[in-house]
Amino acid sequence: MSFRQLLFAVLGFSVSSLAYAQADLVISDPFARATFPMAQSGAVYLTIENNGETTRTLSAVSVVDEIADEAQIHTTEMRGEMMQMRQVTEGVPIAAGQSVSFEPGSYHIMLMGLRHGLSEGDSVALTLKMANGETIAVNAAVKPIDKESNHHHHH
């Protein structure tokens, strides 16, 4: 390899890593809550930041078979005095320059039909599916049970 080829290789590499760092959608702090071993459902939280020029919509989420039957997008709403979860089928729009947090009491990714609960230290492999066909792989670490927020997750 000549010096010129090497230079191009180095430049090519730095251009592609720059492009990665400037990806339109940035997923931060994905985590799941641990459950008791026989639990049928669990929740995953994360933040999606849209650094792009147009609104992007999260339309669906899938989870690996080893963890659960399916993943659903849920939101939590007040109905009278009651907090209730609702499955979101219309997608979650993230406006350009904005971020949306999936957090207790709000949007969350619900894992349905857990194989053997979620234990602290496990990781949950998810795929976020955007309305434009883009997919984003996410690994959510399992954190200890949070007794405060568990009452939102009775199915």
At closest approach, how far in Å is the CB of 75 from Cu ion? Answer: 8
Q: Least distance to Cu ion from the beta carbon of 139, Å?
A: 20
Nearer to Cu ion by C-beta: 27 or 110?
110
Q: Which of 116, 138, 147 is nearest to 45 (CA)?
A: 138
Least distance (Å) from Cu ion to the CB of residue 122? 19
- Containing 37, the helix (H) or strand (E) segment is none
- Closest CB to Cu ion among residues 39, 110: 110
At residue 46's C-alpha, the angle toward residues 130 and 110, to 5°, is 75
Min CB(120)–Cu ion separation in Å: 20
Nearer to Cu ion, 26 or 60 (CB): 60
The 8-class DSSP code of residue 155 comes to: -
Nearer to Cu ion, 67 or 110 (CB): 110
CA distance 29 to 108: 13
Residue numbers at the binding site for Cu ion (CB under 5 A): 74, 85, 110
Provide the total of helices (H) and of strands (E) in the chain, helices listed first: 1, 10
Residue nearest to Cu ion (CB): 74
Cβ contacts of residue 32 below 8 Å, gap of 6+?
42, 43, 44, 45, 111, 118, 122, 124, 140, 141, 142, 143
